[in-house]
Amino acid sequence: MIRKALFTFVCLALLAACAPSATPAPAPSATPLPPDPSIVLSDGLGRSVSLPGPAASVVSLAPSNTEILFAVGAGAQVVGRDLFSDYPAEALAVQDIGGSMGEYDLEAIVALQPDLVLAQAGGFNSPELIAALEGLGLTVYALPNPSTLEEMYANLETVGTLTGHVQEATDLVAALQARLAAVDAAIAPLSARPSVYYELDASNPAAPYTAGSGSFVDQLIARAGGFNIGSQLESQWAAISVEQLLVADPMIILLGDAAYGETPEKVAARPGWETLAAVQSGRVYAFDDNLVSRPGPRLVDGLEALVRLLHPGLLP
Amino acid sequence: MQTRPYFLTLLFLLLAIALSVAVGSVFIPPADLWRVLTGRPPQEVTQAAAILLDLRLPRTALLLLTGAALGGSGAAYQGLFRNPLADPYLIGVASGAGLGAVAAMSLGWPYTTLGLLAVPLAAFLCALLTVALVYSLARLGRTVPTTNLILAGVAFSSFATALTSFLMLRSQDEVRRALAWLLGGGSVAGWGAVLAMLPYVAAGLAGLLLSGHTLNLLQFGDDQAAQMGLPVTRAKTLVLVAASLATAAAVAFSGIIGFLGLIVPHLMRLWFGADHRRLLPLSVLGGAGFLLVADVLARIVLAPQELPVGIVTALVGAPFFLWVLRRAKGQGIW
């Protein structure tokens, strides 16, 4: 009996909790408050990061972050950048704060006294590093690692907000979206989808690495009107056996590892590769991997470069 | 008791500490250094104070403890196994810790205090678990034959290392983090890590420093030592537990720093003799000093890039050791 009464009580209480609240929402105050310059944003590690105002000095811990900072017009605020940040050329003049093997020069970062350290979540910067920087009294924002172009746009706007370049970031996103729409419109009527093999690393030519499903390379090849033969592979950085490659017989080979010395001539000389359609028709191209591996605004440059190679003459 | 070896090794360690505190990528004038260290930092050197107190000193302390643990454990293992190739990782501490750390990383713990502790905690526990497993596998009745221990350790290490590589391949997002950890270094640890590892390293080293006489007796072989009244299995187990505890704590926070635990005891034996009552404390002091010097090199050779200190210990340590070995030829060190 008591149990039944208790049950009823609990049900009623739950109903009451679910019922819409009767109290009206507080009316917006009549006099607008002066705009509060402080910024509170949630970052890629789920931390809430607050800044008293837009950061006047920023240390970038990843090449994509550096590219975004310069692209939204915050280049002059960058006081330190990691070893791998080599674009745009102005970034090379900024102080190098290390980053090989994930080891940054913490002393140099502290000495720069930046308002903000822009890190990257998702494997590039370890959570231990971010905790250490925080422990030194620095404000760290870990930019989420985007997996789609839309998420990359969101990062551009986030960096615009953090550095006080909201308008530039909005304009940049609009411009990128327009270029993307132009590509989509040009590709839509095409029926042919050339098959593409994108090489990431051929240190072991018997099992080279290619970009698998989920990677930006895979998405951009599809968007550029091609078929990535690596799209069947589960990993973003996937080893493909040469036997599979010969069966797939790609029409186009893109050498993302051109920076490591791979050339169309070397590819043609690999045993068995001379039978590939791409090699016989001479459609083996060096490709700037930085355009598709760094999650920043240059992904759209990468997309256009892919369209030019896959469908020559399609874009002006 | 001869005091000269202690004096020389202690002097080397003090010099190494001074170097480790004074040298960094940001130059701090000696006068400011002194004022910060003596607790009288004026306003204008607050930045130097932050760099010294929050970065350099915890790093120096962490590496000091790590080097001490590896040096001492190395000497104890070489004595215990009566094998010049023994090092603190021989029976699986490093491979077990590596497996634990990489497994914790690939699980993708959320960014919380516990999440950050997950890696060292998993490394520490897996290291101790591995040693326990190897020990129980090597056990034959009431004895623990040394050869069995070595073979079980080597076999299990290969297994754990293969599993670690597999996990790294599976979780590609964490490869950089895992690799940096496996190569060793303590650049991002802070005072928390020093305090966390201190009790284990202290307890382990205390156990080792008391085992000098035991190890001297064990040099005659298990049977002889038993005839001389040593409870052989118990003594061996004590040395193993103490060395594993110290090494596991060091590895959990500093990553896997190779070679040091192998050569520091040899250098000490070469210079100051094989009596374990002296060799153990000297290897503790020498290991700490050696790692600090290696770390100073790691910081300045390619500045502002920092090399993982595990690379430097072998890269600089191996030629140095070979040079000492050449000079000592004919003398025989074992």
pLDDT in tens, A74-114: 999 999 999 999 999 999 999 999 887 778 888 899 999 99
Pair of tokens at residue B265: 């005891």
| Best CA proximity match to A303, nearest among A179, A158, A207 | A179
Among A110, A128, A235, the residue with its CB nearest the CB of B50 is A110
Other C-beta atoms closer than 10 Å to the C-beta of B271 total 15
Q: Distance (Å, rounded) from C-alpha A108 to C-alpha A51?
A: 22
Select the residue of B26, B54, B111 nearest A45 (Cβ to Cβ).
B111
- Phi, psi of B229, deg, nearest 5: 95, 10
B188 touches chain A (CB under 8 A): yes
Q: What per-residue confidence (pLDDT) applies to B141?
A: 83
Q: Is the ipTM of this complex over 0.85?
A: no
The pLDDT tens digits of the residues spanning A12-22 come to 444 444 444 44
Residue A2 has pLDDT above 90, yes or no: no
Pairing outcome for strands A252-255 and A284-286 = parallel
pLDDT of residue A8: 47
Query: With an 8 Å Cβ cutoff, are B183 and A46 in contact?
Result: no
Amino acid at A99: G
The position carrying tokens 């990257």 is A120
Whether residue B47 and residue A110 make contact (CB cut-off 8 A), yes or no, is yes
- Tell me, yes or no, if B44 comes closer than 8 A to chain A by beta carbon: no
Annotation: CATH topology of A39-183:
Rossmann fold (3.40.50)
* Domain limits for position B60: 54-329
pLDDT of residue A169: 97
Q: Which of B26, B98, B22, B63 lies closest to B188, judged by CA?
A: B63
The Cα–Cα gap between B108 and B121 comes to 15
Whole-angstrom distance, CA of residue A208 vs CA of residue A197: 11
Please indicate whether, in this complex, the C-beta atoms of A46 and B110 are within 8 angstroms of each other: yes
Domain A191-310: CATH superfamily, name plus number: Nitrogenase molybdenum iron protein domain (3.40.50.1980)
Tokens 């050498």 belong to: A255
B180 touches chain A (CB under 8 A): yes
| Contact call for B304 and A137, based on CB within 8 A | no
Indicate the range of A133-137, A200-204, B5-9, B107-111 predicted with least confidence: B107-111
Q: Do A123 and B175 touch (CB under 8 A)?
A: yes
CB of B306 less than 8 A from some CB of A = yes
In a domain, B201, yes or no: yes
Report which secondary-structure segment, H or E, holds A1.
none
Which pLDDT tens digits describe chain B residue by residue (334 residues)? Answer: 578 899 999 999 999 999 999 988 788 888 888 888 887 766 666 778 888 888 889 999 999 999 999 999 999 999 998 888 888 888 889 899 999 988 988 887 767 766 678 888 899 999 999 999 999 999 888 888 888 989 999 999 999 999 998 988 887 777 778 887 887 765 667 888 899 889 999 999 999 999 999 999 999 988 889 899 889 889 999 999 999 999 999 888 888 888 899 999 999 998 898 899 999 999 999 999 999 999 999 888 877 677 788 888 888 888 888 888 887 765 555 5
Of A96, A107, A131, the CB nearest to B51: A107
Chain A residues at the B interface, defined by Cβ less than 8 Å, are 45-47, 83, 96-108, 110-111, 113, 122-124, 126-132, 135-137, 145, 235-237
One fold for A39-183 and A191-310: yes
Mutate to test the interface with B, among A49, A96, A103 (most CBs of B within 10 A): A103
B320: left (phi over 0), alpha (psi -120 to 50) or beta: alpha
Q: CB A122 to CB B173 under 8 A? A: yes
CA dihedral B6, B12, B14, B20 (to 10 degrees): -150
Residue A208 confidence (pLDDT) above 80 = yes
Q: Is residue B37 part of a domain?
A: no
The answer to whether B177 contacts A101, with C-beta atoms less than 8 Å apart, is no
| Element (DSSP H or E) covering residue A48 | strand A48-51
- Cα–Cα distance, A17 to A14 (Å, whole number): 5
Mean residue pLDDT of chain A comes to 88
Check: CB of residue A121 under 8 Å from CB of residue A43: yes
Q: Whole-angstrom Cα distance, residue B264 to residue B293?
A: 13
- Report how far apart, in Å, the C-alpha atoms of B77 and of each of B64, B228, B239 are: 20, 21, 8
| Partner-chain contact B26 A108, CB within 8 Å | yes
Contact list, B179 vs chain A (CB under 8 Å): 101-102
Residue B321 in domain: yes
Best residue in B168, B187, B191, B300 for a mutation probing chain A (most A CBs within 10 Å): B187
CB B144 within 8 A of CB B153: no
What confidence tier does A26 reach under pLDDT thresholds 50, 70, 90?
A: very low
Contact B86, B80 (CB under 8 A): yes
In this prediction the pTM is 0.81
The phi, psi pair for A209, rounded to 5°, reads -95, 140
Q: Does any domain span residue B47?
A: no
Write the residue in A105, A110, A237 that is nearest to B304 by C-beta. A105
pLDDT of residue A34: 67
Number of domains in chain B: 1
Contact between chains at A105 and B173 (C-beta distance less than 8 A): no
Identify the band that residue A310 occupies on the pLDDT scale cut at 50, 70 and 90: very high
At B70, the amino acid letter reads: L
Angle between helices B146-170 and B175-183 (to 10 degrees): 150
Q: Do B55 and A110 touch (CB under 8 A)?
A: yes
Q: Is residue B202 part of a domain?
A: yes
Are A123 and B172 within 8 A, CB to CB? yes
State how beta strands A78-81 and A58-60 pair.
parallel
Contact A126 B180 (CB under 8 A): yes
pLDDT tens-digit readout, A30-82? 565 667 789 999 999 889 999 999 999 999 999 999 999 999 999 999 999 99
Amino acid at B276: H
Q: Does B24 touch chain A (CB under 8 A)?
A: yes
Residue A148: name the closest of A289, A43, A288, A303 by CA.
A303
Sequence-separated (6 or more) residues with CB below 8 Å from residue A224: A183, A187, A303, A306, A307, A310, A311
C-alpha span between A272 and A261 (Å, rounded): 20
